[in-house]
Amino acid sequence: QVQLQESGPGLVKPSQTLSLTCTVSGVSVSSGTYYWTWVRQPAGKGLEWIGRVSDSGSTSYNPSLKGRVTISEDTSTNQFSLRVTSVTAADTAVYYCARYSLFYYGMDVWGQGTTVTVSS
Amino acid sequence: EIVLTQSPDTLSLSPGERATLSCRASQSVMSHYLAWYQQKPGQAPRLLISGTSSRATGIPDRFRGRGSGTDFTLTISSLEPEDFAVYYCQQYSSAQVTFGGGTKVEI
């Protein structure tokens, strides 16, 4: 059974860096048939795609995040990570990691989500 | 960037009724790359439909997706109590993913 689990600080100060990790079980992040993805959702609002990393380490990001985002994978720990620099209150959201299947072309497995609040 | 516009924002229906949700794209979307998700309060989204019309594993056949080009539709033929939720469409194009703003189906 494939499972994804987000972890990281729930509180980040403005201007600092938000760092989250997604631990994957039941499948290797080295698998070529998936993109490993981050999505966020501010309270009461819709879903926003942040970006993704592939098995080869290639990345793609939402242009609206203006170069503040880095997503990387660690095959030795079977994890992938998100870094968002220079955070503001607008980055406060529930952050989800998800598996984007290149067979189905959809996000077929999601983590439970983790809430990150940006506040001093 | 392809913008997805969902309508209506809210659909107020009763159990047993038919729900029709619309997703309109600002540019043509390849059918392979259009998906629908269901999200209930406090839960992660769940994949319902991929490739415009293929139901994900375990999704009942009362959920039906269709469409092409810039116009896509999710239909729930007869609403069950557990179907009241928010629904999002999502597209993939040129290595970018975008979501629609969502439609809330409420009792």
Residue B63: strand, helix, or coil: strand
Residue A66 has pLDDT above 80, yes or no: no
- Whether A48 has its CB under 8 Å from any CB of chain B: the answer is yes
Residue B94: pLDDT band (50, 70, 90) is confident
**Which residue of A98, A105, A112 is in closest CB contact with B92?**
A105
Residue A104: pLDDT band (50, 70, 90) is confident
User: Over the stretch B18-39, which tens digit does the pLDDT of each residue have?
Assistant: 999 999 999 999 999 999 999 9
Interface of B to A at Cβ within 8 Å reads 1, 32-33, 35, 37, 39, 44-47, 49-51, 54, 56, 88, 90, 92, 95-102
Rounded CA gap, B49 and B43, in Å?
18
Nearest-Cα distance to chain B for A99, in Å, is: 11
Average pLDDT, chain A: 95
Q: How many helices (H) and strands (E) does chain A have?
A: 0, 11
- In chain B, residues with a C-beta closer than 8 Å to the C-beta of A62 are 96-97
By CB atoms closer than 10 A (0-12, 13-18, 19+), residue B91 is: buried
For the record, the structure tokens of A9 come out as: 């600080």
What is residue A89's predicted lDDT score, i.e. its pLDDT?
A: 97
Rounded CA gap, B101 and B2, in Å?
13
What is residue A56's predicted lDDT score, i.e. its pLDDT?
A: 87
Which residue in B74, B97, B98 has the most chain A C-beta atoms within 10 A of its own C-beta, making it the best mutation to test that interface?
A: B97
Residue B28: strand, helix, or coil: strand
With beta carbons less than 8 A apart as the criterion, state whether B95 and B83 touch.
no
